[in-house]
Amino acid sequence: MRLIELDTTESTNDEARRLAQNADFGPVWIRANQQTYGRGRRGRDWVSPKGNLYCSALFATDLPIGRLGQYSFVAALAAYEALLKIHPIGDFGIKWPNDTLLGGAKISGLLLETGKTHHQSWIIVGIGVNLVSHPEDTPYPATSLAAHMDTDVDGALKPKVVLQILSGRFKVWKSKFEREGFEPIRKAWCEAAVNIPGPVTVKLPDEEFEGTAIDMGHNGALQVRLANGTIREVHAGDVYLG
Ligand code: BTN
């Protein structure tokens, strides 16, 4: 695995984008000890002090643009499995689309960005994992691995060690996806999901509704059954359990 390690950067996703703009399409992982402008989904900040894992994978792709988002589910599985490997008794689960929860609170998030430069399409998968600290005032409650583990067993709380495990799992799921398509990913993702089937509240920029999450479709949308029996597909938005 090619790895670029930095002490401080604005955002590892931005570092990856700079490489792609200079015709370096990886595959490469970039990890920073801290980020000064870490970015989250939906234009949010990702507060990034030292001690947690901040990393981005950059790689070229020839998949049609409409399928690139499927890589976010590949990466979500990798993060989920890596965390489970580190803390096997942890109550982990994935919340749509790609957050890992531990004990019902968010421990890791993922920001996928795509682009095309020098006639080549590429993908950046940025992943943040709260290892030793987590923010307090977040729309969704957050936690860290340290809040659930007594000691740093075998370097479990070291960003470098966690990235090694995470990148290994990502490699496995990425090649399965590229060989066999989205269905095995969709299935594994549904098995790891915390709330399928289960009650959810979906918050969109201009509306909010409740229903029962019943499945994730082949297009990656969360399928929510409303009280009147109709199924609504959620392509973007924030999902809250219950
Ligand atoms: C989210 O859940 O909102 C996504 C968070 C993604 C954070 C990671 S940290 C590494 C990479 N660099 C960034 O600026 N963001 C992602």
The tokens for 198 are: 């289960």
Does residue 96 line the site of ligand 1, with CB under 6 A?
A: no
Pick the closest to residue 213 from 77, 71, 96 (CA basis): 96
Q: What phi, psi does 5 have (nearest 5°)? A: -115, 130
Does residue 234 line the site of ligand 1, with CB under 6 A?
A: no
β partners of residue 56: 30, 126
- Which residue has the CA at smallest separation from atom 11 of ligand 1? 126
Question: Average pLDDT for residues 2-10, to the nearest whole number?
Answer: 98
Helix axes 70-86, 183-192, angle to 10 degrees: 50
Enumerate domains of the chain plus CATH numbers.
2-192 (3.30.930.10), 198-241 (2.30.30.100)
Question: Which position has the higher pLDDT, 72 or 150?
Answer: 72
| β-strand pairing of 231-234 with 222-225 | antiparallel
Within 10 Å of residue 136's Cβ, how many Cβ atoms? Answer: 8
Pick the closest to residue 193 from 153, 170, 224 (CA basis): 224
Atom of ligand 1 nearest to the CA of 11: 14
Q: Is the pLDDT of residue 156 over 80?
A: no
Residue the block writes with tokens 């709380």: 157
The tokens for 167 are: 């990148």
Does residue 126 line the site of ligand 1, with CB under 6 A?
A: yes
Please report, for residues 16, 26, 59, the alpha-carbon distance to residue 23 in angstroms, rounded to integers and kept in the order given.
Answer: 11, 9, 11
pLDDT band at 13 (very low <50, low <70, confident <90, very high): very high
Cα-Cα end-to-end distance for the chain: 40
Mean of the per-residue pLDDT values of the chain:
95
Burial class, 203, CB count within 10 angstroms (exposed 0-12 / middle 13-18 / buried 19+)? middle
Tell me how long the chain is. Answer: 242
215-233 pLDDT, tens per residue? Answer: 999 899 999 999 999 999 9
- Which residue has the CA at smallest separation from atom 15 of ligand 1? 39
Does residue 100 line the site of ligand 1, with CB under 6 A?
A: no
Within 10 Å of residue 51's Cβ, how many Cβ atoms? Answer: 16
24-36 pLDDT, tens per residue? Answer: 999 999 999 999 9
Q: What is the best residue among 15, 41, 111, 112 to mutate for testing ligand 1's pocket, by most ligand atoms within 8 Å of CB? A: 111
* Furthest C-alpha separation in the chain: 53
Q: Is the pLDDT of residue 151 over 80?
A: no
35-80 pLDDT, tens per residue? Answer: 999 999 988 999 999 999 999 999 999 999 989 999 999 999 999 9
The tokens for 7 are: 């002490």
Q: Quote the ligand 1 centre to 153 CA distance (angstroms).
A: 25
Atom of ligand 1 nearest to the CA of 12: 12
| DSSP 8-state symbol, 104 | T
Does residue 41 line the site of ligand 1, with CB under 6 A?
A: yes
Q: Quote the ligand 1 centre to 121 CA distance (angstroms).
A: 21
Instruction: Could you list the beta-strand ranges (E) of 97-197.
Output: 99-102, 105-117, 120-129
